[in-house]
Amino acid sequence: MNLEPLAYRMRPATIDEIVGQKEIIGVGTNLYKMVKNGYVPSMLLYGEPGIGKTSLAHAIAGTTKLPFIALNATTSGKKDVEEVVQESKLTGKLILFLDEIHRFNKAQQDYLLPHVENGSIILIGATTENPFHDVNPAIRSRCGQILQLTRLSQDDIKDLIIRALSHKEKGLGNLSIKIDENQIQRISEGVNGDARKALTMLESIVYASDMDDDTYIVEDATIEKMISRVGVGGDKKGSHFYNLLSALQKSIRGSDVNAALYYLAHLLENGDLISVNRRLLVIAYEDIGLANPHVGSHVFAAVQASERLGLPEARIPLAAAVVEMCLSSKSNSAYQALDKAIDDIRKGKVGDIPKHLRDSHYAGAAVLGHVGYQYPHDHPIGTFGGWVKQEYLPENLKGTEYYQPVEAGEEKRLGAIYKRLQQFKEKS
């Protein structure tokens, strides 16, 4: 038995062996042509674990035959960087693959960056975090390309599994394995586009299978047990986590119940109930708003229930809240109006509070002219309660309108009242 993991052995040796990522390194792409012509720019590879960042770097080095050194920014120190620089002086131009590059410290940067700048070291950095948020600008500026890798498709994973089963030198081709097409398809479906996970799982499934006359007999039950919870994981505070929160909110805003429930499920499986609850409360007021004011209290009740229940039962009230928000009328008019007012204030569009609105609950208020306020409740107006025309905004902002009602749900009624009151002001 080969002691090296299958995922390690099957790492592509050249860019022609890479599975997936056709938009980035497929035949005819700019990067493919550059590498084939022996030119490698410094670059950043961004994407989730297991989708080929390390493999791409190794394949580029294998294609160009350039010396290759791999470091991990979490465990490497300045001394390691110094050794890379010395190696480049001996061998000439080399490729430095730096995993977890967002953890690169300042001492390492200061020493390495001049050598990246003069071209003696080609830096290929890999990160699971958004490089525009987490990678130092000094590094970004020296990387000619920032490439976002994506999860592999099920067909890509299937091709990779078949290749691993048949390859005699690197794969499992020397073993007698009974596995059918449906089982291969099931594995490819269950690994969530993660190539490393697919190969690791395939190897585990094969060696967990019973043998009959030196043949491994793969059973469906073995596969199902292996793939349970395979899509769960990742840094709760990493880029992928925030992407999930963003996708949840945008799915609710877009009234897509199924997508919203999918992202809710993914977030809850990751276990961060607090962040999910906070985002749901934001959505209730940011995206539903005045179109359905009752949703805010409903979501708040669901959040409180989820906190009292804890996981896994917390999923029950949260599911009800998400479905209700998806199917509710929606409006963002209230906070948009407030943001316009905030923008005016930040731009210096401020004025004196009208004197009749100022505090008058003290002796001497009249001397300062803080008089003239009319109490609206003393002026009944139909079923509305009371209204009287008087100016509330500062004089220099008179007539400014921040609020623009949306004709959706309950806000259609509120908007009609707002417009009627505006008409009263014009007539009075």
Q: What is the pLDDT of residues 67-79, one digit of tens each?
A: 999 999 888 888 8
CA 283 distance to own-chain centroid: 17
Task: Calculate mean pLDDT across residues 331-340.
Answer: 94
Average pLDDT over residues 245-271: 92
The single-letter DSSP state of residue 217 is E
CA angle 105, 234, 58 (to 5 degrees): 60
**380 upstream amide cis, omega within 30 of 0:** no
The pLDDT assigned to 106 comes to 77
**Distance separating alpha carbons of residues 100 and 124, to the nearest angstrom:** 11
Q: Which fold has domain 21-148?
A: Rossmann fold (3.40.50)
Tell me the average pLDDT across 143-169.
Answer: 91
239-327 has CATH 1.20.272.10 classification: yes
Q: How many whole angstroms separate alpha carbon 234 and alpha carbon 211?
A: 35
Residue 329 and residue 409 in contact, taking contact as beta carbons nearer than 8 Å? yes
- The DSSP 8-state label assigned to residue 289 in this structure reads G
The pLDDT value recorded for residue 175 is: 94
Topology match between the domains 21-148 and 239-327: no
Residue 236 pLDDT level (bands cut at 50, 70, 90)? low
pLDDT attached to residue 174: 93
- The domain locations on the chain are 21-148, 154-227, 239-327, 349-427
CB 240 within 8 A of CB 48: yes
Q: Using one digit for the tens of pLDDT, what is the confidence trace for 393-405?
A: 999 999 899 999 9
Give the residue-averaged pLDDT of 26-55. Answer: 91
Q: Which of 161, 207, 153, 130 is nearest to 10 (CA)?
A: 161
Options 1.10.3710.10, 2.60.260.20, 3.50.50.60, 3.30.360.10; CATH of 349-427: 1.10.3710.10
Collect all residues with Cβ–Cβ distance below 8 Å to 350 and sequence separation of at least 6. Answer: 344, 394
Using the predicted structure, report yes or no on whether residue 311 has a pLDDT greater than 60: yes
Q: Which amino acid is at 193?
A: G
Q: What is the mean pLDDT of residues 144-155?
A: 89
Task: For residues 422 and 427, give the distance between their C-alpha atoms in angstroms, rounded to a whole number.
Answer: 9
Asked whether 326 and 252 are in contact (CB, 8 A), the reply is: yes
Indicate the pTM of the whole model: 0.64
Provide the terminal-to-terminal Cα distance of the chain, rounded to the nearest Å: 92
Confidence of residue 225 (pLDDT cuts 50, 70, 90): confident
How confident is the model at residue 318, as a pLDDT? 96
CA angle 106/107/108 to nearest 5° reads 90
Helix (H, G, I), strand (E, B) or coil at 108: helix
DSSP H or E segment with residue 98: strand 94-99
User: Average pLDDT in the 57-75 region?
Assistant: 93
Burial of 103 (0-12, 13-18, 19+ CB in 10 A): middle
Query: Of all helices (H) and strands (E), which one includes residue 158?
Result: helix 154-166
Output the six-digit token pair for 348. 């210096």
Note the CATH architecture for domain 154-227.
Orthogonal Bundle (1.10)
Give φ, ψ of 166 to 5 degrees: -100, -20
% of the chain surpassing 70 pLDDT:
96
Give pLDDT, residue 252: 96
pLDDT (mean) for 404-424 = 90
- Residues 312, 318: Cα–Cα separation, whole Å: 11
Residue labelled with tokens 């990493």: 238
Distance CA 201, CA 50 (A): 12
Check whether 386 has a pLDDT greater than 80: yes
